A and B are shown apart, each in its own frame.
Chain A
Amino acid sequence: MTSLILILISALFFNGIIIRVKSISAGRKGPGIMQPVKDVIRLFRKGSVYSEVAGPVFRIAPAVYLASVIVACLCVPFGHKAGLIGFRYDFVFFAYALALGKFFCIIGALDTGSSFEGMGAAREALYSMLAEPAFFLIMGSLALMTGYSSFQSIFAELHPSGPMSWALTAIAMFIFLVLAMIENSRMPVDDPKTHLELTMIHEVMVLDNSGIDLGLILLTGYLKFAMYAAIIANLFIGSIPVGFGIPVFLAVQAVCAVIIGLNESFSARFRMNHNPQFIFTLACIALLAVFGVMLMSGQLV
């Protein structure tokens, strides 16, 4: 429960921090830190326009998409305190629940019969397929290292000590951070601020969503960021008391948001045909982490 509340709180600020960092580094005055939340509230006040082509799937999709991320958030523990949903190999459920959300997002986009949205849907389907192995491999390596099998027990057991485990923690951090960027379609895979539909991924999938539907989708994106950052925070707070854990958790969220903001300020988007390579490289790095753990526990030689 602690983790859910904290994720909700940090989701309120996460995108705001990214926007602030971007505007500061660009030398602009920029919007306030609460602007993303205000956007959602404004959208919630509005009515909606639906495409004549779209059917029930299009209307259900945003709800399932948000539900998938909420359910996934429920799986995330707070250090040694388990999330509301917790069982052995719950990270498999976590990944597959997110995949169901994506499934609906993709078919929701196809429901409008738009050429642009089909493009986004095809890219999202392919990229999430390529990104999935990285998550499983890095969770596998953490499970292998600790000998436990659920989010909560893995993170409770995990406390970086010694160069090898620090290296693994660093790799895990990197992978979760890049996964968060891929899943939210941020730089370097996708540019949320691009103005050309042909080069978008996520934004082009939701072109036809308006009003509360768009609000729900934006909200889902914020939650997703906070959720991945919460997993990164969990790499550190497993063995420290809750009192210290909460500030560390919030600090990690802020640091993640700053890193993403800086990355977006100073890097450019990849060419679309380089994305698959980039995403699959992540799986290879995760494989390295697995072999690192095997080396550490003497299973390789």
Chain B
Amino acid sequence: MSKRSHDKLLFTGADWTFDKVMRVHDAVAEIAHGELGLDTYPNQIEVITAEQMLDAYSSIGMPLMYKHWSFGKHFAADESLYRRGMRGLAYEIVINSSPCISYIMEENSMAMQTLVIAHAAFGHNHFFKNNALFKQWTDAKGILDYLEFAKTYILHAEERHGARAVERVLDAAHALMGHGVHKYPRKRPFDLAEDKRRQRERADWFQQNYNDLWRTVPRSENAFPEDSEAAERKRALGLPEENILYFLEKSAPLLAPWQREILRIVRNIAQYFYPQKQTKVMNEGCATMVHYTIANRLHDKGLIDDGTLMEILHSHTNVVFQPGFDDPRFSGINPYALGFAMMEDIKRICENPSDEDRAWFPDFAGINDAWGTLRHAWADFRDESFILQFLSPNVMRKLRLFHLHDQAEAEDMVVKAIHDERGYRDVRKTLAKSYDIGALEPDIQVVDVDLTGDRRLILHHRVADGIMLDSLEALRTLRHLANLWGYPVRLVEVDGKYDDVLKVHDDVEPD
């Protein structure tokens, strides 16, 4: 690829060709790997049509997926909205796989393709490969093979057991999908040697720190009143368990092996998407930061012309637009805007800090390694912790963030804190909490099974902040749950702080 020095432009004009895409990819790769130090999976760029983009939407963005009516429903809804012009299509979809697949649409102009390549094929790609959550929970190399397996398995199950029967299991599994993920690394199996070692350590520690005084402290009669039978039962069933699908797969008495396998498939797919839910701000922020920097660098190097840069910046500005709360266009905080603003600010703090920044971020203010700091943030944080660590007063002032407190009984909402000296920490903490997936999703656990009685399954919802479950939704979901369990199911809502029973949902029988 020899370029004449007076004309280094990678392309001119709006139309894209494979050749141009290839050249842009190579130029972007040079900047991304060489200048920004990104580390990406190999790229695979696939050109698709608008209809295929709709297809991809409906099967939750994956290139292959098992068949289920709900995907057809989403397709019909999306298509209807799209046809009526009520919704545009995404410019790209990117899949956390190795090679990393990015879909680009044939309708995009060459400038848009450049933006998309920088954004998806390098920004998201780097994030997928390096973020700790993705590393821990997803297997980028295996996902496509697994989906292929899942698709075939469910197809065969439909042939063998009937579409209706499979649909029933899938419906139920989908209803519980949100509660089908492991949030923590799995408990290790019981290991005798390890246990003995630990016991010895404990005894040693006890001996070293023995203080006769403790003997004189009166002891309560029965510190753990739980009867041993119940404890043994719970241990045997691995209760309490918050991964409901996992529990059903392992312990539901009436399921056939193929039904358990389907639960497992749905559970694995939910687990695969679990990191994405927790890193929306970071993931989009990372990709936006990368495409913004790369587009400017391409322009600096004379590889794209002014018009192209303007088109890219125009889209970029639309993407990071954050309307205020009183704007009719407001619909929550835009993850692109927040992520990009924070990452821009990290860069600024690294390179050009103020005194305030030095006080707030002593460990990286002025160290002049913006991309190193960003790469570290991208690797080791999720939205909640990222905001808690990196949201600077400057960004809060820029976005004019304030903390709104809403109590159901109170007449008005109260402004608790704003973007000022007294409020920064409060605002930051509250914002971080609103991205904590543990606080966002209801905490529902399988706590017990009435093995001596009618095998009733008992679940507890630990109510946080007095926010109960939507009772109609809960009832419908419980019906699905009961169908999988095979016996009645009871859901009790318990106050998270005081253990009071707030509400007992009627027992739901399987139908």
Task: Report if A and B associate in a common complex.
Answer: no
| Chain B interface (Cβ < 8 Å from any Cβ of A) | none
